[in-house]
Structure 1
Amino acid sequence: MVTAVSAAPLTVRPRRRAALGWIGLALALLLVGLVGTTLVYGGWTQKDALDPESPAPDGTRALVRILQQQGVTVTVARDRAAAERALTDRDATLVLRDAPMLSDATLTALADRARDVVLIEPRSRTLDVLLKGSSLGGFANDRAAAPGCELPAPRTAGTARTGELMIPGAGVTGCYPVDGEYGLLSTETSDGRTVTALDGSATMTNTTLPLDGNAALAIGVLARTDAVVWYVPSLTDSDAGSTPRTIGDLTPPWVTPGIVLLLLSAVVAAIWRGRRFGPLVTERLPVMVRANETTEGRARLYAASGDAAHALDELRRATRTRLVRRLGLAAHTPAEQVADAVADRLGADRGAIRGILLTDSPTTDRDLVAASDRLRDLETSVHAAFATERTTR
Structure 2
Amino acid sequence: MVCAVLFIVLIIALVVNVPVGIAIGVSSLAAVLADGRLSSTYIVQQLVTSADSFPLMAIPLFILAGELMSAGGVSKRILNVCNVFFGRITGGLAIVTVIVCMFFAAVSGSGPATVAAVGSMVVPTMLEKGYSKSFTLALIATAGSIGVVIPPSIPMVIYGVSTSTSISGMFMAGFLPGILIGIGLIICCYFYCKKQGWKGDDRRYTVKEKMAAVWDAKWALINPVIILGGIYAGIFTPTEAAAVAAVYAFICGTFIHRELNIKNIFDPIAASCSTTGTTMVIIGCATAFTKILTIQRIPDMITKGISGLTTNYVLILLLINLLLLIVGCFMDTTPAMMVLSPILLPIALSIGMNPIHFGVIMVVNLAIGFITPPLGINLFVAARVGREPLETVTSGIMRFMVVMLICLMLITFIPAISMLIPNAFM
Structure 1 length as normaliser, TM-score?
A: 0.20
Higher relative contact order (CA 8 A, sep 6+): 2
Q: Which structure: greater helix fraction? A: 2
More strand per residue? 1
Structure number with larger C-alpha Rg: 1
- Taking structure 2 as the reference length, what is the TM-score of the superposition? 0.19
